[in-house]
Structure 1
Amino acid sequence: MNDECEFCRIVAGDRSAHVLYEDDRTVAFLDANPAVRGHSLVVPRVHEQELLAVDDAMAPAVFESVRIVANALETVLDPDGFSVFHTSGPLVGTVDHAHVHLLPRIVDDDVSLSLSRDRLEADDASALATRVRESV
């Protein structure tokens, strides 16, 4: 546990949160500053800055909890869909504790997660795919 981390304090029960689900590896709670109704965060119980760097069992446990909470939110809120995302490195924001955002979405909810798109060139794609396969 990191005493400076607000998510660690939530996991430890030292800071209040509206917990939706918890198990031995994860805790899911409502975001205190939601983008939409039901905006939730799923965090590992252990303090890790990077979700992709956790042990082999942790990332699947986090995403299993995302699935469980999404199913419950589906029942309760009947959204049109979900956005699920994770960022890493300096893009994470103000909390250095790995987490996944789960946003129930409705048509015209003003949430913008759009990406600028470009054409994938065959030569570049082939070279990149080769390098990644060699690195795996």
Structure 2
Amino acid sequence: MTSETTCEFCAIVTGRLHAEILFEDESTVAFLDNTAVMEGHTLVIPKVHATDIRAIAEDDAAAVMRTAHRMAALLDGVFTPDGMTLFQANRPAGWQDVFHLHVHLVPRCESDHLHRPWHAERAHPAALARTRQRVLRQTGDDAPI
């Protein structure tokens, strides 16, 4: 895994690595992805190094989502896409490539070359109920968190 000293996103935060920055505040940076899959493909990162969703503090995660919300509105106004895909991956099995939490914002159009990575089918209600119980068992309560 990467550390703050070897992380390319931390290097963007500190200015050691160039990026086309679109927005910055005290907690986050938004910049154009240098491997963009569509024009306007933007990444939003926390300024603090957090490898993934498990490692980030709740306030920093909220700041990332606030910036993602702001950038989605900006990109929508500039590109007038048919839709927007937000994507956040964790660990190699979850398709994470850079181990600094980041959210992708990808402006989309009906005829673009991107496609869903999976085909969804309805889960059986009993399976969902079992999964709910398994998750809530961790809280010691059967009520939602």
Coarse TM-score class (shorter-chain normalised): over 0.9
CA deviation profile, 1:74-104 (whole Å, cap 9, x unmatched)? 1111111100010101134431111000001
Structure 1: gaps of 5 or more residues:
none
Give deviations 1:91-134, integer Å, cap 9, x for gaps: 34431111000001111111113422233112211111112122
Whole-angstrom CA distance in 2 between matches of 1:107 and 1:54: 34
Q: The residue matched to 1:49 in structure 2 has which SS? A: coil
Q: Compare 105-114 and 63-72 and name the one that shifted more.
A: 105-114
The answer for the alignment partner of 2:37 in structure 1 is: 35
Match of 1:46 in 2: 48
SS of 1:20's equivalent in the other structure is strand
Question: Could you tell me how far apart the structure 2 residues matched to 1:110 and 1:3 are?
Answer: 36
Number of residue pairs the alignment of both structures matches: 136
Q: Distance in 2 between matches of 1:85 and 1:94?
A: 13
Report the secondary structure of 1:124's partner residue. Answer: helix
Once the two structures are TM-superposed, the CA of residue 27 in structure 1 deviates from its matched residue by 0.3
Q: Which residue number in structure 1 is paired with residue 91 of structure 2?
A: 89
Is the CA contact (8 Å cut-off) linking 1:26 and 1:42 kept in structure 2? Answer: yes
Query: Greater shift after overlay, 95-104 or 112-121?
Result: 112-121
Distance (Å, rounded) in 2 between the aligned partners of 1:131 and 1:93:
26
CA distance in 2, matches of 1:92, 1:51: 13
Number of the residue aligned with 1:128? 131
Aligned to 2:142: none
- Decide whether the 8 Å contact of 1:40 with 1:102 is kept in 2: yes
1:117 corresponds to:
120
Bigger CA drift: 109-118 or 70-79? 109-118
Name the CA distance, whole Å, in 2 between partners of 1:13 and 1:92. 26
Q: TM-score, normalised on structure 2? A: 0.87
Q: What does residue 60 of structure 1 align with?
A: 62
Whether the 8 Å CA contact 1:81–1:104 is kept in 2: the answer is yes
Q: Which amino acid aligns with 1:43?
A: I
**Matched residue of 1:51: which SS?**
coil
The one-character-per-residue Cα deviations of 1:21-80 (angstroms, maximum 9, x if unpaired) are: 111111000000100000000001011111243112011110100011111111111111
Measured in 2, the distance between the counterparts of 1:63 and 1:10 equals 19
Query: Does residue 107 of structure 2 align to residue 70 of structure 1?
Result: no
| 8 Å Cα contact 1:51/1:99 also seen in 2 | no
Among all aligned residue pairs of Structure 1 and Structure 2, give the percentage whose two residues are the same amino acid.
35
